[in-house]
Amino acid sequence: MKEKEIEDLIADKSFGTDIFDKADKIRKENFGDGVHLRALIEFSNYCSRNCLYCGLRRDNNKLKRYRMSSKEILSCAKKAFDMGFKTVVLQSGEDLFFKTKDLCAIVYKIKKNYGLRVTLSAGLLKKSDYGDLKNSGVDRYLLKFETSDKKLYEYLKPDSVFGDRLKAIEILKELNYQTGSGIMAGLPGQNDKILAKDLKLIKDMELDMVSVGPFISDPDTPLKNCSTIEEFKMIKILALTRILSPFSHMPATTSMGVLYKNGRKKALLAGANVLMPDITPVIYGENYRIYPGKNIKDPEDNINEIKDMLSSISRHISYEFGDSVRGGFYGKNS
Ligand code: SAH
Ligand code: SF4
């Protein structure tokens, strides 16, 4: 698909269900009906960056800041293991307090004690840090490029350089991480042409994991009162992402569930094959407010609710690791 075709499909308000059927068929062929659960641990909400869209930005002084201790993170990983999860996702702001060697020690213990896959999502780090973390056992890394438009990126992330983010994603791939990236849809200043370029870049990156979620305006950021993307368009973008990236694991994001009724279920019907239940202790998680509404416990975070939701769409929880299906170290062909 050419960029212009993608743009026209995004702009088209009239078409039928073809695109959704195609996305769902591709998902079924490449991933089956099992949905992988990744347990999300939000281990620190301190952030040294000032992204305009994010509630964790350093200038948001309304937020109560926290960071979990190594012990707390480990007991959360144990909880994930006891609940039957196969993957933990450790996510944080860019918290300069956490030294790479401390994170390495935590990851090493999680792997040794519980044998879980570990995904890290802690933003931009030095190449040597990514290397050390990989050696300590981190399997996967999530680093969204957020938008492919350099000007928009650098407006939204005033202390960041677009090229550095792309370079970091390349480094993660070189280091043999199962690499995840993606965008937010509905950002102010993002038109259909940019969205088409975003999806094309996601395709060209040949990612192991791709995350596309709607932007949600936070009242304590400079983007307060900004509108976001309408539901139909958002779901269409997910379906197009699945068609363009047939072999990437794709979550039905928490933001889908926060913004739209049955949003995560709709995403699962449009190509998604992953859910990321939040298992952060509530006293902390309620302050991990990237956007509002996130801290309200989604009933879908309860495993029984997830099972019911999945069986209503003839899907089920997968108890496999859910590694990349692209081949390489963990993949099908290894
Ligand atoms: N600090 C790390 C990881 C935490 S943020 C980083 O920035 O990579 C994780 C993701 O949250 C970001 O990649 C972004 O896509 C998403 N996010 C941040 N603010 C958001 C908002 N207001 N609405 C929707 N998603 C948001
Ligand atoms: Fe920090 Fe990430 Fe939020 Fe930016 S998006 S302010 S880097 S937590």
Mean pLDDT over all residues of the chain?
94
Residue 324 has pLDDT above 60, yes or no: yes
- Give, for ligand 1, the residue of 90, 95, 144 to mutate: max count of ligand atoms closer than 8 Å to Cβ: 144
pLDDT at 327: 67
- Taking residues 89-115, what's their average pLDDT? 97
- Give, for ligand 2, the residue of 57, 164, 217, 287 to mutate: max count of ligand atoms closer than 8 Å to Cβ: 57
Place of tokens 């709607």: 214
Share of the chain above pLDDT 70, in %: 95
Residue 298 has pLDDT above 70, yes or no: no
pTM value surpassing 0.75: yes
CA distance linking residue 129 with residue 231, whole number of Å: 39
Which one of the ligands is nearest to 45 CA? 2
Residue of the CA atom closest to atom 18 of ligand 1? 54
- Taking residues 216-234, what's their average pLDDT? 96
Share of the chain above pLDDT 90, in %: 90
Residue 329 has pLDDT above 60, yes or no: no
- Taking residues 115-136, what's their average pLDDT? 98
pLDDT at 293: 87
CB 106 within 8 Å of CB 72: no
- Taking residues 267-296, what's their average pLDDT? 91
CA distance linking residue 158 with residue 220, whole number of Å: 17
Residues with CB under 6 A from ligand 1: 53-54, 91, 93-94, 121, 123, 143-144, 146, 184, 213, 215-216, 218, 255, 290-291
Give SS3 for 324: coil
Ligand 1 atom having least distance to the Cα of 183: 15
- Give, for ligand 1, the residue of 42, 53, 152 to mutate: max count of ligand atoms closer than 8 Å to Cβ: 53
Mind listing the pLDDT tens digit for each residue in 144-176? 999 999 999 999 999 999 999 999 999 999 999
CA distances 98 to 70, 103, 108, 157, 195, Å, are 10, 7, 15, 22, 34
CA distances 329 to 127, 320, 326, 332, Å, are 20, 16, 10, 9
- Taking residues 205-219, what's their average pLDDT? 98
- Taking residues 25-32, what's their average pLDDT? 98
CA distances 241 to 9, 281, 328, Å, are 12, 32, 22
Task: Pick the closest to residue 277 from 264, 291, 287, 289 (CA basis).
Answer: 264
